[in-house]
Amino acid sequence: MSVAGHSGTAAHGSDIVCAGISSLAQTALLGIGRHLHREVDYEVASGDLRMKLKGEPDDLTEAILETMLLGFAEIAKTNPEAVRILDSQEVK
């Protein structure tokens, strides 16, 4: 999973769209690592979060990631100019 960039809909530090996406992504990362005790490689920087699960995902991991994507999709519905959701086949 990779989340990159700022939405550009408000000044840095007060962007509600960016904050919402970041919160969902970081919560998913925490849930997978701390609640499910799955090993995850990750990097977090300003505007970027990259996560790679070590091993194959199980049903609970998939549930957390799908829930995160549902949240992303809802934010994208109301802010289509600020959020793009790409699947791995679209990322080069």
Determine what percent of the chain is predicted with pLDDT higher than 70: 85
Check residue 6 and give its pLDDT.
Answer: 64
Asked if residue 77 lies in contact with residue 15, where contact means CB atoms within 8 angstroms, the answer is: no
Please classify residue 92 by burial: count the beta carbons closer than 10 Å to its beta carbon, then call 0-12 exposed, 13-18 middle and 19+ buried: exposed
Mean pLDDT of 44-63: 91
Asked if residue 62 lies in contact with residue 30, where contact means CB atoms within 8 angstroms, the answer is: no
Domains and CATH numbers, the chain: 2-78 (3.30.70)
Look up the pTM and report it. 0.82
Check residue 42 and give its pLDDT.
Answer: 94
Check residue 33 and give its pLDDT.
Answer: 96
**Which is higher by pLDDT, 27 or 10?**
27
